[in-house]
């Protein structure tokens, strides 16, 4: 019994929810949805189990896509990548996975873990390792919690694959980036299995059902109004107005950065949104009002459709939507890994009350 509705409407809701949790990043979802529908038509519907249904020792294998997820459309997956990485890790560790856990619920990976479940025939669990979208592998909840990611396997669209071992999370991140250049820009990845009992502490639990709920609320709304949406989702609108400026620049990190400026059309307050692959912080008249790891979405004001970081441009009429993040990151020990300073932004984390998932 799957906790995720895999009907057309259910997948559309999950897709929209993943886009929202992508915080402007995470990659475009349409291709993943097509792959998923195809799998369902083939008679391989993915099953998503509640993590509570697993025994404490049941090994759960983290899987997902790493790299430039936009490149998926240019170099299409063959369908064997997830099977190969799961097999590689199984072979190296000698442990057969009882279930798969998505690495990232935000963006394309919010659907790809279901594709992986369909491809491998292994159930997925209703949890992920980010609770949103984040740019780096060392920002996996499991890595922050203290789990080893290796042995890990990567298989790219070019057919090449590698197995990484005896690396810490930062090492995995660095080597994986090197491999991506060889593999066509993206790769399917599987990490070392994590016992379900540990995973209950070391993951954003319930993230897929949360994503589907988010999407459903939005899609079911008669009038797609961001303010009403924010109320229903337990979030907040920080501003609505026209984008007045988008500046992109190369910062200190490997990803390019950007600053979006908009003026709230009601109060004329100046909103500054700093972004990398995702929207990271929101300043209202110079005062931080929202930051990672909470969910910061920029949505079109009239349709509430999320606007990705790489698509936002001058003149768009948008709303800045702030949703509570995963409870995992609320723990003081975990927060620094994804707080603004982890992205080189020297402000304190600015989180809203409430969080999804198991209470910390």
Partner 1 sequence: MTSGTVPLSRLIAAPSWRDVVGLTSVDGAKRQVRDAHLLADVRPGQLTEGVLYGLVNLPTAFDVRSDVLIRRLADESAAGLVVPAERTGPDGSGTIPASTIRLAERLGVAVFTAEDVSEAILAARAVIRGGDDDRAVYVERVVDAVTAVPSELGELCRRLGQALSAPVAVFAADGRRLAGDDVPGVAVDPSRPGEQRNPTADGYAVAVPVTDAGAESVALWLVAQLSAELNDHYSAVRTALRVAAFGVRTWQAERRLVAERDARLRSGLLAMIRQGHDEPSPILRRQAGELGWRLDGWHVGFAIGLVDGDEATAVLDIGSIFAGEAVTVEIVPENHGWSGWVSMDHEPSAAELNTVVTALRRGHRTINRWVTTYMGVGRAYRGSRGLANSLAEAHDAAQLAVNRKELGRFLYIDRLGLAQLLLAWTRTDTFQPAAHELLAPLGGHQGHLTETLNAYLDAESNLTETAAVLGVHRNTVATRIQRIEAILGVDLSNVDERLALHLACRTTLSPPSPPWA
- Nearest approach in angstroms of CB 246 to partner 1 is 10
State the Cα–Cα distance between residues 97 and 193, nearest whole angstrom.
7
Cβ density class 92-107: b for 16+ within 10 Å, e for less: bbeeebbbbbbbbbbb
State the Cα–Cα distance between residues 120 and 38, nearest whole angstrom.
14
Nearer to partner 1, 232 or 244 (CB): 244
- How far CA 136 is from CA of 129, 139, 308, 320, in Å, comes to 11, 5, 18, 24
- Nearest approach in angstroms of CB 345 to partner 1 is 5
- Nearest approach in angstroms of CB 297 to partner 1 is 19
Nearer to partner 1, 166 or 346 (CB): 346
- Nearest approach in angstroms of CB 271 to partner 1 is 10
Nearer to partner 1, 229 or 269 (CB): 269
Nearer to partner 1, 14 or 351 (CB): 351
- How far CA 153 is from CA of 63, 87, 138, 325, in Å, comes to 10, 9, 15, 29
CB atoms within 10 A of CB 209: 19
- Nearest approach in angstroms of CB 94 to partner 1 is 48
Nearer to partner 1, 153 or 246 (CB): 246
Q: Give the residue from 219, 185, 213, 241 showing the smallest Cα distance to 357.
A: 213
Interface ranges with partner 1 (CB under 8 A):
245, 247, 249-251, 257, 259, 261, 268-270, 272, 274, 281, 283, 285-288, 345-347
């Amino acid at each position: 019994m799957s906790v995720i509705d895999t009907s057309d409407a259910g997948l559309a809701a999950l897709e929209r929810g993943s886009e929202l949790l992508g915080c402007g990043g995470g990659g475009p979802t349409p291709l993943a949805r097509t792959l998923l529908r195809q799998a369902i038509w083939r008679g391989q519907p993915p099953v998503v189990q509640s993590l509570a249904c697993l025994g404490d020792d049941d090994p759960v294998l983290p899987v997902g896509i790493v790299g430039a997820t936009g490149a998926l459309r240019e170099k299409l997956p063959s369908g064997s990548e997830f099977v190969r990485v799961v097999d590689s890790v199984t072979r190296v560790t000698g442990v057969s996975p009882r279930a798969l856990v998505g690495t990232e619920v935000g963006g394309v990976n919010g659907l790809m873990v279901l594709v992986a479940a369909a491809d491998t025939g292994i159930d997925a669990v209703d949890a992920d390792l980010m609770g949103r979208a984040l740019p780096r592998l060392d920002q996996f909840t499991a890595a922050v919690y203290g789990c080893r990611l290796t042995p890990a396997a990567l298989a790219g669209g070019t057919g090449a694959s590698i197995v990484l071992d005896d690396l810490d999370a930062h090492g995995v991140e660095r080597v994986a980036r090197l491999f991506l250049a060889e593999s066509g820009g993206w790769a399917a990845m599987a990490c070392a299995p994590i016992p379900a009992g540990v995973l209950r502490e070391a993951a954003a639990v319930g993230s897929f059902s949360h994503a589907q709920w988010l999407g459903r609320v939005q899609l079911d709304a008669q009038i797609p109004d961001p303010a009403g949406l924010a109320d229903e989702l337990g979030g907040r609108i920080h501003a609505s107005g026209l984008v007045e400026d988008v500046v992109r620049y190369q910062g200190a990190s490997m990803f390019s950065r950007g600053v979006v400026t908009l003026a709230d059309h009601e109060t004329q307050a100046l909103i500054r949104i700093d972004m990398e692959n995702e929207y990271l912080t929101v300043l209202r008249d110079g005062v931080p009002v929202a930051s990672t790891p909470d969910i910061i979405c920029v949505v079109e004001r009239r349709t509430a459709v999320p606007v990705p970081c790489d698509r936002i441009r001058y003149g768009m009429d948008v709303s800045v939507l702030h949703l509570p993040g995963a409870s995992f990151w609320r723990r003081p020990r975990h927060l620094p890994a994804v707080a603004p300073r982890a992205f080189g932004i020297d402000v304190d984390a600015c989180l809203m009350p409430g969080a999804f998932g198991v209470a910390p």
